[in-house]
Amino acid sequence: MSAVWAIIVVVVAIAAGLGGYYYGKGQATSAGKTTVTYYDDLSPSEESFMTNILIPQFEQNYSNINIQYVNIDAGSMVTKITALVQGNDVGSTLIAEDNLDIGELIYGGTGSTNYLMNLTSIAPAIQPATMIPSMTAVTNYETTAFGGTYFLPFRANTPLVFLNKTALSSNGITTAPANFTDLLADATTLGSSSVMFQGGAGDDTATEMFQWDVQFGGNPMVYNDLGDLQAMSYLYNLSKYMNPGYKQAIYSEYAGLAQGKYDILDYQWPYVYSLLTGGNTSIPAMNTNTLDVYPGPNGTGAHAAAHVIGGDVLAIPKGATNLWAIQLFAQYLLGAHAQQILMVDTGNPAVNAQAYVGLPSSQTVVDTAIEQALENPVFRPPVPWIETWVSNFYNDIFTPFVLDGTGGGAWSALVGDANAANSQMESYLSANVGSSAASQYAAGDFGPLYV
């Protein structure tokens, strides 16, 4: 009896092995073509536009180049590229990485290794002449900060606010909240569980709070100036009206707006617009009558309408081969045609100004919101310790004050948390970067970038 089982197991093993072998072989590139491996982090719906439209079109134009597309999340991409560069096995590779995670590749490993190739000489050939001004400013900034160009803006991203118009109007709210006071008033009218906020992870939460700090007139990097404190205190008050799922919500939380789990989706990236309006078949589709999107409420002061700009950048890992092919593909991705497809079909704001010309009218609502938001850009400073700033914020301020509710929202508790965050950030710099960086930090020299 067990002999029979043994035979079955062996037969299946051989079959599986052969099958896998043959399938694996079938993936190999045909001779004579150069293969460029392209890493990106796209949702399944976005992916189909990349693999079914953009890449085949490119391969048609350049019949001797084959693009191997790899879908991988931003964090895993860092570990993957790190391993490849360390193992000297990069090959012909282009990556589209998140703008915050790219810093981990620039300051990779123990903080002093740059895993990216210096693009200063080939950047002018790749980048279109019609870049959005704020994006050009980023590229210029790179030279100052890193001594050269190491990445090129590819898809800009800026958070927007999405509203369930039906739910709002049935509660007597006819206009989107224009400022934070209105937002809190509307949330009170709508009741508990009416707002969603990305409270689930360091990066996503810190990104939102960076913008709010700026809009309240503060410097997010120091955590404890008046604007920062006011923003956090406001957030605490608003959290009473948030759907409790906000504690785990990250950039992938949006479907609840269509499902009626909350009415105000406070800040999500524009890509969710196409998913809410029919792109995601597992939720009811919204339309322009039921869904509204706009840059969001304004704060006070000079930067009341500031919008944090994130997004993805193109980069080439150090040691990549067949640069000519990579260059051609990168150029294609930054061209007006590809940029427009990416913007219209996947909701990623284009960095090429040409892409905004001649857009279909169904896109008007979200495109208007994007263009408005991009008029007031603010960037996070590309310091190598930005991730520590993020986790410090999440651990020292957000978790105790908002998530745990320790101190019951008292101002003194908040001040204590914020001051602790500030001093820990300073001691971190002192132990990891140097005393000059620490004293710069103490003096408030690090702040948001306006271009």
Of 226-255, binders to other proteins (CB under 8 A) are 243-245, 247-248, 250-255
For residue 157, the surrounding DSSP H or E stretch is strand 152-157
Indicate whether 384 belongs to the interface with other proteins (CB under 8 A): yes
| CB 239, min distance to other proteins, A | 12
Separation between Cα atoms, residue 152 and residue 314, nearest integer Å: 5
Tell me the window of 164-172, 274-282, 289-297, 440-448 that interacts with other proteins (CB under 8 A): 274-282
Q: Which residues ranging from 81 to 100 are in contact with other proteins (CB under 8 A)? A: 82-84, 86-89
- Dig out the tokens for 197 from the structure: 């906020």
The smaller minimum CB distance to other proteins, of residues 47 and 182, is found at 47
The smaller minimum CB distance to other proteins, of residues 54 and 305, is found at 54
Separation between Cα atoms, residue 351 and residue 135, nearest integer Å: 7
The smaller minimum CB distance to other proteins, of residues 96 and 305, is found at 96
Tell me the window of 125-133, 156-164, 299-307, 381-389 that interacts with other proteins (CB under 8 A): 381-389
Q: What x-and-dash track marks residues 10-29 binding other proteins by CB under 8 A?
A: --xx--xx-xxx-xx-xx--
Residue of 62, 141, 234, 428 interacting with other proteins (CB under 8 A):
428
Indicate whether 446 belongs to the interface with other proteins (CB under 8 A): no
Separation between Cα atoms, residue 370 and residue 350, nearest integer Å: 10
Q: Which residues ranging from 351 to 380 are in contact with other proteins (CB under 8 A)? A: none
Share in percent of the chain as helix, strand, coil (round to 5): 50, 15, 35
Instruction: Look at the chain and count its residues.
Output: 451
State the CB neighbour count (10 A cutoff) for residue 238: 20
- Dig out the tokens for 174 from the structure: 């006819």
Indicate whether 199 belongs to the interface with other proteins (CB under 8 A): yes
Residue-wise over 168-189: b if at least 16 C-beta within 10 A, else e? beeeebeebbebbeebbebbee
User: How big is the CA angle at 121 (ends 120 and 126), to the nearest 5 degrees?
Assistant: 85
Q: Are 350 and 340 in contact (CB under 8 A)?
A: yes
Indicate whether 260 belongs to the interface with other proteins (CB under 8 A): yes
Residue-wise over 100-118: b if at least 16 C-beta within 10 A, else e? bbbbbbbbbeeeeebbbbe
Separation between Cα atoms, residue 306 and residue 217, nearest integer Å: 10
Residue of 130, 395, 407, 426 interacting with other proteins (CB under 8 A):
395
Indicate whether 412 belongs to the interface with other proteins (CB under 8 A): no
User: How big is the CA angle at 400 (ends 399 and 402), to the nearest 5 degrees?
Assistant: 70
Q: Which residues ranging from 284 to 323 are in contact with other proteins (CB under 8 A)? A: 284
Indicate whether 396 belongs to the interface with other proteins (CB under 8 A): yes
The smaller minimum CB distance to other proteins, of residues 12 and 185, is found at 12
Tell me the window of 54-62, 136-144, 296-304, 424-432 that interacts with other proteins (CB under 8 A): 424-432
Indicate whether 104 belongs to the interface with other proteins (CB under 8 A): yes
The smaller minimum CB distance to other proteins, of residues 140 and 427, is found at 427
Indicate whether 78 belongs to the interface with other proteins (CB under 8 A): yes
The smaller minimum CB distance to other proteins, of residues 184 and 196, is found at 196
Strand partners, 318: none
Rg over alpha carbons for the chain, rounded to the nearest Å, is 24
Tell me, rounded to whole angstroms, the distance of Cα 118 from its chain centroid. 23
The smaller minimum CB distance to other proteins, of residues 9 and 302, is found at 9
Indicate whether 51 belongs to the interface with other proteins (CB under 8 A): yes
| CB 282, min distance to other proteins, A | 4
